[in-house]
Structures are given as structure tokens and as C-alpha cells.
Amino acid sequence: MKVLVSNIMMINERDRFDALLRAEGVEPVWPEVNQFMGEDQCLSYAGEVDGWLAGDDKITRRVLEAFLPRLKVISKWGTGIDSIDLTAAKDLGVPVCNSPGAFRDAVSEYAIGLLLAATRRLARTDRLIRQGGWPKGRFPGMAGRTMGVVGYGAIGQGVGQRARGLGMAVIASDPYMPEAPDGTPMVSFDALLEQADVITLCCNQTAENYHLINADTLARARDGMILCNVARGPLVDEAALVDALRSGKVAAAALDVFEVEPLPQDSPLFEFENVALSSHNANSTVEAIEYVHANTLDNLFKHLKG
């Protein structure tokens, strides 16, 4: 049996997983991947593999049809499966597995850290000290503010828990959750825009929420609001965000994901000291990554050998 390995996390440890897969009687196929494979690159492996250890690859209906009848399972590394046409997978009988909830703690604590980096200028202070300076800034704190969480699944709830630990009030908006299991007030997205001092995006990417944060929604948000995105880059219209940062409408932004990744070196986001930039790496704890490695392989072998 052959398995396509296109997720960056296993590619980064290729020798380890190549040996592990071969020990299980599986021949791995290792494509050259820059973050993820587009539809055309996916199609170049059609009909060649029995399983797929996928990343954020663009797995469309056309791709799925081309991989059949040989493909038995897609085991997605991580939690997000928005890059896969799940309706087509169901129609065609292709199981899609992931690791839901695996990054609750890793991503939610990173979101808070990234927010503090953006608002308290932690990286700038560190850099200036290393250059011989001793800066004394005055920056906004989190205590007493209202955190609005968009998407209140495992990660969103983790963000809410940690925000309350900072002395924040927490509200959330999630069209799939009328009531929160932890008692957090659930409000409409419009109400969240009006009430939240800090907005943290923890939702899946869908066709409906593309550019959820745009010029209009930013205009309706509170003056001096703070934005954190640890979900998906296309949720935010970056051009509109840049304009809002320049005008002061947005006081700070904490961004782990972007519309184009890696972030282009000519991005205007580099202009701002009140923007904390990260490399789509909020899940980066040893414990979470090792769990997902193991679960992703278990999901694969369960369908290949079952």
C-alpha cells in the first residue's frame, strides 16, 4: 500500500515518519510541499495512493473523484478540515478523519500570549534591550476589558477560560452553538462587534465567513478594538485591517494566520509595532503535536488495515 504524506508537520520529520510507515508495511510518497498542495498538485498523484496523510491541501470534488477507486481514507493532520470538500467525500464514500479538540490548550494559551505581545510590545522591548536600550512604555492591559470570541468550540472555550483568568468579561458568537457549555453569554456577531474590546477569531473557515473582518465590520466595531486571529487567514481582509491600524480604529493586532502564507516580505503589516506576527504555529506544544502525530497515524491504519 502507498500513502501520500503532504502535511508539513510530518514532512518536517520525514526520516522519522518514513521509517515508521515502512515498518507498518506502507510505502510513503513524499511530495515537495510549500505549506499545502493546490488542486493541480493534488491531481498529479491521482490513482497512486491508498491513503493520504493530508495537510491543508485543496482536496476538491475533482481531486476526490480522480483518486478513486484506490483511495481508502484521508487522515488530516490537525483539527481543521475546511480545505476538504466534505460533501463530496461523503457522497463518494471517502472517510475523512482528523483530531478534534487536540489543540485546545496549545492554541488558546498561544492566543493570549500573542495578544500580550501585540498590546504590551513584548518583542520590541526585548529587541531594544538587546540593542542596549532600556525602554519604559505605557500600554493597554487586558483586565476589565470584554473579550469577544468568534467560534466557541474547544479552542474558543479555552480562550474564554484564559481571558477570564486575566480579569476579562467574555462573550462569544457561534451560529452552531445557541448555548455555551461553560455558561458564557452567546450573542450575535453584530452584538459582539458592538460590545467587545478584544475580538479573537477561533472559527472554521467557510464560504460564508470569508473576510468576516472587513472594512464594514471594522467600522462597526469599537474604536481602539484589538484583533487576534488564530483561526484562518482569509477570515480577515488584510487591506482593511491595515487601513484600520493606520487610522487607529484598531489599536493592536495579534496574527498567527494570513491570507497568503508565508507572509510576503512586502506586506504592510510589517510597518506596525502594535502588530504581533506569528507563523501559523499556535499549536506548537510538544504534547499537542505528538498526540496529533499518533492520532493521525491511528486514523490512517484503522481504515487501511480494517
Sign of CA dihedral 261, 264, 268, 274: positive
Q: How does pLDDT run across 41-70, given as a tens digit for each residue?
A: 999 999 999 999 999 999 999 999 999 999
- In this prediction, residue 12 has a pLDDT band, given cuts at 50, 70 and 90, of very high
> If pLDDT is split at 50, 70 and 90, which confidence band does 306 have?
confident
- Tens of pLDDT, residues 66-124: 999 999 999 999 998 999 999 999 999 999 999 999 999 999 999 999 999 999 999 99
| CATH code where residue 36 lies | 3.40.50.720
Instruction: Tell me whether residue 293 is one of the annotated catalytic residues.
Output: no
Known active-site residue 232: yes
State whether 231 and 299 are in the same domain. Answer: no
- The CA distances from residue 252 to 109, 225, 237, 246, in Å, are 18, 7, 15, 10
Tell me the pLDDT tens digit for each residue of 202-226: 999 999 999 999 999 999 999 999 9
- Are 237 and 294 members of one domain? no
**Model confidence, pTM:** 0.90
On whether both 26 and 165 belong to a single domain, the answer is no
The verdict on 269 and 292 lying in the same domain is no
The active-site residue, picked from 164, 211, 259, 261, is: 261
Q: Is the pLDDT of residue 24 over 90?
A: yes
- Exactly one of 162, 232, 238, 293 is catalytic; name it: 232
Average pLDDT rounded to a whole number, residues 21-45: 97
What is the total count of domains within the chain?
Answer: 2
Question: For 106, phi and psi rounded to 5 degrees?
Answer: -60, -50
Q: Which residues contact 72 (CB under 8 A, 6 or more apart)?
A: 50, 51, 94, 95, 303, 304
**Per-residue pLDDT tens for 284-300?**
999 999 999 999 999 99
Residues 121 and 252 in one domain: yes
Please tell me whether residues 15 and 155 are part of one structural domain: no
Amino acid at 85: D
| 213, 151 contact by CB (below 8 A) | no
84 and 216 within one domain: no
pLDDT at 227: 98
Q: What is the pLDDT of residues 230-273, one digit of tens each?
A: 999 999 999 999 999 999 999 999 999 999 999 999 999 999 99
Could you tell me if 95 and 175 lie in one domain?
A: no
Which of the following is catalytic: 121, 162, 222, 280?
Answer: 280
Same structural domain, 199 and 216: yes
Query: Catalytic: 280?
Result: yes
Mention every residue, 6+ apart, whose C-beta is less than 8 A from residue 260. 233
* Statement to judge: residues 261 and 174 lie in one domain: yes
CA proximity to 269, closest of 304, 302, 243? 243
- Both 157 and 120 in one domain: the answer is yes
Q: pLDDT by residue (tens digit) across 112-153?
A: 999 999 999 999 999 999 999 999 999 999 999 999 999 999
Comparing C-alpha atoms, which of 201, 188, 205 is closest to residue 228? 201
What is the structure's pLDDT at 248?
98
Expressed as residue numbers, the domain containing 114 is 104-277
Q: Do 34 and 118 lie in a common domain?
A: no
